[in-house]
Amino acid sequence: MIKQIILTGVIAGAAAFAGFAQASTETGPYGNWTLNDGRVTVKVVPCNGNQVCANVIRLDKPNNADGTPKLDLKNKNTSLRSRHLIGMPVIEGMSPVAANVWKGQIYSSDDGSNYRATAVVNGDHLDVKGCWLVFCRDLNFVRSK
C-alpha cells in the first residue's frame, strides 16, 4: 500500500513536471518568430548549453531585382559576404539573465555590425532591444504558428 502511494506520487510529480516543461516550451523563446512588419522570420533554438541562438529562415523579399538570393554584403568579415541571408545566424549565443530574459549580441546585415542586445519573451511576443553606445533600436516579433 505504501509503495503504491509513493509510486502514485512519483507518477503525479512526473506528470506535473512534464506539464510544466510543455508549458514552458510554449511560452519560452524557442520556435519561429516573425518581425512585426513581416519582413523577416527567425528560428530560435537552444545552443551552447543554456544559451539561445537564432537564424534567419524567411525573408519577405529573399531575392534581389535580378532574381539572385540576397547576400550578407555589408559584413565586416569579407569572407562572409557571399553567404545567403536566409540561413544566416543573427544570434550566436544569448545567455539567460532572468526568467524569460536573455542578454548577448545580435547581428544586423543592414550594416554588418554586432550590437549588444536584450531579448524578453512575454507569451507570444519577443521584444529585442539592440544598442550601440546609448542608441537603441527595438525589434518586436510575434510567435509564428
- Which domains are present in the chain? 29-143 (2.40.128.520)
CA pair distance 22, 76, nearest whole angstrom: 40
- Find the mean pLDDT for residues 49-68: 97
pLDDT 10s digits, 96-110: 999 999 999 999 999
Q: d(Cα 70, Cα 101) in Å, to the nearest integer?
A: 31
* Closest C-alpha among 88, 108, 104, 84 to residue 96: 104
Query: CB count, 10 Å around CB of 82?
Result: 10
Higher per-residue pLDDT: 28 or 116: 116
Indicate the length of the chain as a whole number: 145
SS3 116: strand
What average pLDDT does range 1-6 have in this prediction? 35
Task: Give the type of residue at 129.
Answer: K
% pLDDT > 70, the chain: 81
Q: What angle do CA 55, 37, 108 make, to 5 degrees?
A: 40
Q: Read off the pTM.
A: 0.78
pLDDT for 134 equals 87
Q: How confident is the model at residue 10 (pLDDT cuts 50, 70, 90)?
A: very low
Give CA–CA dist 145/132, Å, rounded.
Answer: 32
Q: Any bridge partners for residue 142, and if so which?
A: 34, 125
| Range of weakest confidence among 3-7, 50-54, 69-73, 135-139 | 3-7
pLDDT tops 80 at residue 6: no
Question: How many C-beta atoms surround the C-beta of residue 132 within 10 A?
Answer: 13
Average pLDDT across the chain, whole number: 84
> Rounded to 5 degrees, what angle do the CA atoms 32, 33, 35 make?
150
